[in-house]
Amino acid sequence: MEILVQLDQIDECARYFWRKVEGKVFAFYGKMGSGKTTFIRALCRAKGIEEQVSSPTFSLINEYTYKEEGINRRIFHIDLYRLRDEEEAIQAGVEDCLYSGDTCFVEWPDKIPSVLPQKRIDVHILPHSNYTRLLKIDFRS
Ligand SMILES: Nc1ncnc2c1ncn2[C@@H]1O[C@H](COP(=O)(O)OP(=O)(O)O)[C@@H](O)[C@H]1O
Ligand SMILES: [Mg+2]
């Protein structure tokens, strides 16, 4: 499945994404500056997360909470850009997040090939124009 995301309609696109895509672990592939964090932020906003969602620069993992139909839910935003090796990811609790059943967004998932669950959704973000990105979404199992 593909979605064309225009920056000034990103919130609409995020709502569309949540209507079409069901899953827990989302692996975001794309070069630096391709728009991974920007789209993840929009996906969080669509769930009503108000706090500032930024790239987790100081910790590998940021945790956000929101309420859905009266139930408290969590989203983990995991940015592995600075990760040295898979061992560091396990030490930091990345594996626990990925298998917790909570929603996880992973930037630079290719750094943890053997930790990443088989059952996941791969989102490749490709530059399209200055303000648009093409999202290629693959359901893996
Ligand atoms: N359609 C779009 N979706 C996401 N980001 C976009 C889009 N168009 C332009 N951009 C810009 O591209 C940059 C993406 O940065 P960022 O999300 O931090 O990338 P990454 O996390 O992949 O390194 C931002 O400056 C953002 O404003
Ligand atoms: Mg980023």
Give the distance (Å) from ligand 2 centre to CA of residue 37: 4
Q: Is the CB of 9 within 6 Å of ligand 1?
A: no
Q: Is the CB of 37 within 6 Å of ligand 1?
A: yes
Q: What is the pLDDT of residue 59?
A: 78
Among candidate residues 59, 43, 53, the one with its CA nearest the CA of residue 11? 43
Distance CA 114, CA 7 (A): 33
Strands across the sheet with 71-79, in order? 2-6, 132-140, 120-127, 25-29, 103-107, 71-79, 61-68
Tens of pLDDT along the chain (141 residues) come to: 999 999 999 999 999 999 999 999 999 999 999 999 999 999 999 999 977 666 556 679 999 999 999 999 999 999 999 999 999 999 999 999 999 999 999 999 999 999 999 999 999 999 999 999 999 999 998
Give the distance (Å) from ligand 2 centre to CA of residue 120: 19
- pTM beyond 0.75: the answer is yes
Please report the domains of the chain, with CATH numbers, ordered by start residue: 2-140 (3.40.50.300)
Residue with CA at minimum distance from ligand 1 atom 12 = 35
Phi/psi of residue 47, each to 5°?
A: -90, 5
